Chains A and B, each alone.
Chain A
Amino acid sequence: MFKPPTLKDVARAAGVHFTTVSMALRGHPAIAAATRVRLESIAAKLGYRRVEVFSALTQRRQERGRQFARPGLLYLGRAPRRRQFFEMAHHRAVLAGARQQAEDFGYCLETVFVGPGGVPPDQLTAYLRKHSARGVVIGAWDPGMSAPAVDWSGKATVKIDSWHIPADVPVVSNDQLANVVTALTELRRRGYRRIGLAMGEHDDEGTGGAHLSGLQLAHARLAPRERVPPHFFPARTRMGPILEGLGRWLSAHRVDAVVSNWASIRSMLQAIGRSVPGDVGCACICRGRHQHELAGIIPNLELVGRTAITVLAMMVRDAGSPRAHAASNTCVQGVWRPGRTLRPAPSNA
């Protein structure tokens, strides 16, 4: 098996102690410039490459007994307002999973908000370059906002959703495609025949079109007359017009059940005078764990966070080695839960 050239190989070829080589390649002032140049050229000829990890480890050993920093990972959030990101139950759950997994691996996870009150988007590249963290998680950035031009190549990076962020890195998300298919299947089992999907205008940009794909897949099995076109809630609009639009769509297509990724769908329907499940059924494909009345899919958000960190840790471990990490896409399944917002399933099902 081919062994890559080591520091000692370079030292032997140059006729010096390996410490000299190490100091020279690091640019230590004690080594004369002429010596440094000579050793650098010998190292280059032999094909010796510095391994960052070894330097870091040596540094660690030298610092033993004194305080030192635990290697860190960054978790970046972006939304119109800080509290919309870090205080939303959805994001908190993902973050909790990420934090736990980071600790299991021995990393320290630091959360950073990109936007007003945090790091300005146009300074993000510089911020990342200066930060000592070894890896970055782009944590489900809000697709409705402008995507800043960031250079992600400096650190190992993983995305949670955020398909709209141009970074060809591994993505981890809920399996929104399968969730939509499951929801429609469950609703058809309960006899609904005019099932419509309603979601925010920009919601699918973060998922790479997963919701629409799921709808198309479900529709492929239906007769054309049973296919209800999806409805999109306009962005940056007051609730009044949103509700009006919802009402018009329900009437125009005689929708008898609504599937949505908005957990507020039930109260929205009730606000426009539809009783649930009497007039129309509803299910949420991204339901909170504690919303017991709402039928739908509970996503495993902690596992999404944990998986993102697992993938990131693998990339950090391999940093500096020639192997590249394919931009994989990991989809985490949720679990269907019935609720009181739908007719009951037939008992013989």
Chain B
Amino acid sequence: MLEPQRPTLRDLAAAAGGMHPSTVSLALRNSRRISAATCRRVQEVARQLGYHRDPLLDAFNRHRIDAQPPRAPRHIAVVADFGSAAALRASPRHALALAGARAAAAELFCKLELFLFGPGQPSAKRLDSILDARGIGALLLLALRPEGPAPAFAWERYCYVAVDSPQLPVPAYTVTVDYRQAGRLLWRLARAEGRRRIGFVWSDESADGAEQRAIAGYLFERSRESEGSPVPPLKLPPGPAAGTALRRWAKRYTVDAIVCRAAFRALAHTALGDTAPPCMAFDDPTAPTGMIRPDYFQVGRHAVEQLVALMQTNHLGPPPSSACTYLPIAPDS
């Protein structure tokens, strides 16, 4: 691991034709202030020279940054599929994720700016030109719904990370809660409470992976017990038929606990009234103690950290494959 004097930023600046080290530093980071051609040239010279980042300096900067006021923060655009900022705040999951993102951004010397996207808001193309004019090259995608407008951004120009696994038309890095673990934990919690007829209710299987992962966890735990005849999962039909299907299923299988999305609880109360079995949600950050509480704050935080890592290593554009990071659910204290 020993090597002779390694090339520094100044060596690189000299080799690139007598540029100033700060120009070189900006060019290595694909800054918009430097022309694309110059960026490419400088990066090529860096490769030839064997210049590489110094992780000790990176770590050092992290500590230094904590003590200094920001001079020129890097901008990250949070693109959220909500009609208004108030609507975003009203959704606990997304409000928490945004709060976590802001916390991480503050630590990492970045500035977050919220851009709304979706019904009644600027289109992707318009957002592209706004972000370009502002010199913003990093996106944090929040809650882009699959049935919403297809987000046709110029993906190659951005570093981007998505939160809570929306279905994007391009490969992406995503951060979300470990719903599979959630499904497993909820099964065990229900059993610990003495429930024996635990059912799972799902609705839209194509949309996002949350329900799929949760049911995978539920089934996995269930398969490890050899209790009699298990309750088959119920896929809710759309529309008013849902209530009837739910009633029939709950009665037929004498369900005494339901694992489901938080949003489903309203239907359960309408359809089953007072006899509704407890609904254990796998995606409720405001769940009471004794239930699992997924940490969306951490999700937002982790997403920004990943995004900054991409920015630091100039990984623009779609990754070669999608990769999803599942954050564990902390055991309730």
Chain A residues close to B by CB (< 8 Å)? 1, 3-4, 51, 53-54, 56-57, 60, 64-65, 67-72, 103-108, 110, 134, 175, 177-178, 181, 209, 212-214, 216-217, 220-221, 300, 302-303, 307, 310, 313-314, 316-319, 321, 326-335
Pair B1/A110 contact, Cβ less than 8 Å: yes
- Complex CA–CA separation, A209 to B223 (angstroms): 11
A316 lies within 8 A of B59 (CB):
yes
A106 touches B219 (CB 8 A): no
Cα A178 to Cα B67 with chains together (Å): 44
* Min CB gap B232→A, angstroms: 8
* Smallest CB-CB A-B distances: 3 pairs: A300-B321, A106-B53, A216-B219
* B320 engages A213 (CB within 8 Å): no
Residue positions of B touching A, CB distance < 8 A: 1-6, 52-60, 62-63, 66-67, 171, 178, 180, 205, 209, 212-213, 215-217, 219-220, 223, 233, 298, 302, 305-306, 309, 313, 319-328, 330
Let me know if A330 and B325 touch, CB within 8 A: yes
Using A213-B220, A303-B323, A330-B325 as known contacts, say yes or no to A106 and B54 having CB atoms under 8 A apart: yes
Nearest A residue (CB) for B319: A303
Whether B323 and A331, one on each chain, are in contact in the complex, defined by CB atoms closer than 8 angstroms, is: yes
Q: Which interface residue of B178, B216, B309 has the most chain A CB atoms within 10 A?
A: B216
Give the shortest distance, in Å, between B250 (CB) and chain A (any CB).
18
Contacts of B216 in A (CB 8 A): 177, 213-214, 216-217
Chain B residues, CB < 8 A from A56: 56
In the complex, besides A106-B53, A333-B171, 11 extra interface pairs with C-beta distance below 8 angstroms are A60-B56, A70-B3, A105-B52, A217-B212, A302-B320, A310-B306, A317-B59, A326-B330, A328-B327, A329-B328, A333-B324
Inter-chain contacts of A335 with B (CB < 8 A): 321
Chain A residue, CB-CB nearest to B67: A3
Smallest Cβ distance from A232 to chain B, in angstroms? Answer: 15
Chain A residue at minimal CB-CB distance from B55: A106
Q: Chain A interface mostly helix, strand, loop or mixed?
A: mixed
The answer on a CB contact under 8 Å between A51 and B63 is yes
Tell me, rounded to whole Å, the shortest Cβ–Cβ distance linking A322 to chain B.
12
Q: In the assembled complex, how far is the CB of residue B306 from the closest CB belonging to chain A, in whole angstroms? A: 8
Closest to B217 in A: A213
Closest to A218 in B: B216
Asked, given contacts A106-B52, A310-B309, A327-B328, whether A334 binds B321 with beta carbons under 8 Å apart, the answer is yes
Contact B324 A71 (CB under 8 A): no
CB distance from B226 to the nearest CB of A (A): 14
B213 partner residues in chain A, CB cutoff 8 A: 177
Smallest CB–CB gap between A132 and chain B, Å?
A: 8
Least CB separation from A323: chain B residue:
B107
Set of chain A residues within 8 Å of B55, measured between Cβ atoms: 71, 105-107, 134, 313, 316-317
A281-B314 Cα distance, complex, nearest whole Å: 43
Q: Are B326 and A331 in contact (CB under 8 A)?
A: yes
The complex places the Cα of A216 from the Cα of B216 at a distance, in Å, of: 7
Set of chain B residues within 8 Å of A319, measured between Cβ atoms: 59
> Nearest Cβ distance between residue A131 and chain B, in whole angstroms?
11
Contacts of A318 in B (CB 8 A): 62
- Say yes or no: A104-B325 contact (C-beta < 8 A), given A3-B67, A65-B5: no
In the bound complex, how far is the Cα of B178 from the Cα of A221, in angstroms?
Answer: 22
B313 nearest in chain A by CB position? A104
25 contacts across the A-B interface (CB closer than 8 A): A3-B66, A51-B63, A54-B63, A57-B57, A64-B5, A68-B3, A69-B3, A70-B2, A71-B56, A105-B52, A134-B55, A177-B180, A177-B216, A213-B216, A213-B220, A214-B216, A220-B233, A303-B320, A321-B62, A328-B327, A329-B325, A329-B328, A330-B325, A331-B323, A333-B171
Closest to B57 in A: A57
Establish whether residues A328 and B328, one from each chain, have CB atoms under 8 Å apart when the complex forms: yes
Chain B residue nearest to A300 in the complex (CB): B321
Give B49 Cβ to nearest chain A Cβ, in Å: 14
**CA–CA, A307 to B313, complex, Å?**
13
> Bound state CA distance, A105 and B55, in angstroms?
6
Whether B326 lies near A329 (C-beta < 8 A) is yes
Closest residue of chain A to B50 (Cβ to Cβ) is: A103
Chain A residues with CB under 8 Å of B59's CB are 53, 316-317, 319
Instruction: Flag if B56 contacts A68 (CB, 8 Å).
Output: no
With known contacts A106-B55, A328-B328, A300–B320 Cβ distance under 8 A: yes
Closest to A60 in B: B56
When A51-B63, A213-B220 are in contact, do A328 and B52 touch as well, CB less than 8 Å? no
Cβ contacts under 8 Å, B324 to chain A = 175, 330-331, 333
Q: What is the distance, in angstroms, from B165's C-beta to the closest C-beta of chain A?
A: 11
Neighbouring B residues of A178 by C-beta, 8 Å: 209
Q: Please, which residues of chain A bring their CB within 8 A of the CB of B205?
A: 221
A103-B52, A326-B327 are known contacts. Are A70 and B321 too (CB-CB below 8 A)? no
Per a CB cutoff under 8 Å, which of A60, A134, A212, A307 touches B323? A307
- The reply to whether B219 and A217 form a contact with Cβ atoms under 8 Å apart is yes
Q: Which residues of the other chain, A, contact B326 by a CB distance below 8 angstroms?
A: 328-331
Bound: A108/B52 CA distance, A:
11
Chain B residues whose CB sits within 8 angstroms of the CB of A70 once the complex forms:
1-3, 6
Check B309 against A313 for contact (C-beta < 8 Å): yes
Taking the closest CB of chain B, its distance from the CB of A314, in whole angstroms, is 6
Please indicate the chain B residues that have their CB under 8 angstroms from the CB of A71 in the complex: 55-56
A65 to B4, CA, bound (A): 8
Contacts of A103 in B (CB 8 A): 52
A328–B53 touching, CB < 8 Å: no
The residue among B60, B62, B66, B321 with the most chain A CB atoms within 10 A of its own CB is B321
Q: Are A105 and B53 in contact (CB under 8 A)?
A: yes
Question: Nearest chain-B residue to A219 (Cβ)?
Answer: B219
Min CB distance, B164 to chain A, in Å? Answer: 15
Distance in Å from the Cβ of A96 to the closest Cβ of chain B? 13
Closest chain A residue, CB of each to CB of B172: A333
Q: Which residues of A contact B217 (CB under 8 A)?
A: 213
- Cα A303 to Cα B327 in complex, Å, equals 19
Task: Looking at the assembled complex, report how far the CB atom of B158 sits from the nearest CB atom of chain A, in whole angstroms.
Answer: 18
A209→B220 contact, CB < 8 A: yes
Contact at B302–A328, with CB atoms within 8 Å?
yes
- Interface centre among A107, A175, A329, A334, by most chain B C-beta atoms within 10 angstroms, is A329
Q: In the complex, are the beta carbons of B56 and A326 less than 8 A apart?
A: no
B305 near A314: Cβ-Cβ < 8 Å: yes
Closest A residue to B5 by beta carbon equals A65
